[in-house]
Amino acid sequence: GAGVSQTPSNKVTEKGKYVELRCDPISGHTALYWYRQSLGQGPEFLIYFQGTGAADDSGLPNDRFFAVRPEGSVSTLKIQRTERGDSAVYLCASSQGSSSYNEQFFGPGTRLTVL
């Protein structure tokens, strides 16, 4: 079956621009997670959805970052007024439920480069 997919795979933008990153979770998975991985580091948690609602957005670095999941499936991570420090790989993961007992499956990531 299809895994988690993310588009685009690569995004290059200029400082100050707005970007949207998309995640398609595994069908039927109710929980969806966004992580950010900087070069040479482990992924860092950004936000987690259970269904349509953001259950925990404590990892979002500031108010330039926002994510939605309006129909409980596809999610979009939105970054306003991008900065060079936002350059990273943004990973999406989904799981069958929200419990930590449910294994998270990761997508291939979107590599964002802010010039």
Partner 1 sequence: ELKVEQNPLFLSMQEGKNYTIYCNYSTTSDRLYWYRQDPGKSLESLFVLLSNGAVKQEGRLMASLDTKARLSTLHITAAVHDLSATYFCAGAGADGLTFGKGTHLIIQP
Q: Please pick, from the candidates 24, 69, 87, 109, the single residue that binds partner 1 as defined by CB under 8 A.
A: 109
User: Residue type for 112, please?
Assistant: L
Task: Kindly state the DSSP code that residue 50 receives in the 8-state scheme.
Answer: E
Closest separation in Å from C-beta 11 to partner 1 = 15
Distance CA 25, CA 98 (A): 14
By CB under 8 A, tell whether 72 contacts partner 1: no
Q: By CB under 8 A, name the one of 2, 28, 71, 101 that touches partner 1.
A: 101
Q: Is 63 in the site for partner 1 (CB under 8 A)?
A: no
By beta-carbon proximity to partner 1, the closer residue of 27 and 100 is 100
Q: For 48, phi and psi rounded to 5 degrees? A: -135, 135
What is the per-residue binding string for partner 1 in 40-59, x denoting contact by CB under 8 A? xxxxxxx-x------xx-xx
Tokens standing for residue 31: 């929980």
CA-closest candidate to residue 76, choices 23, 9, 10? 23
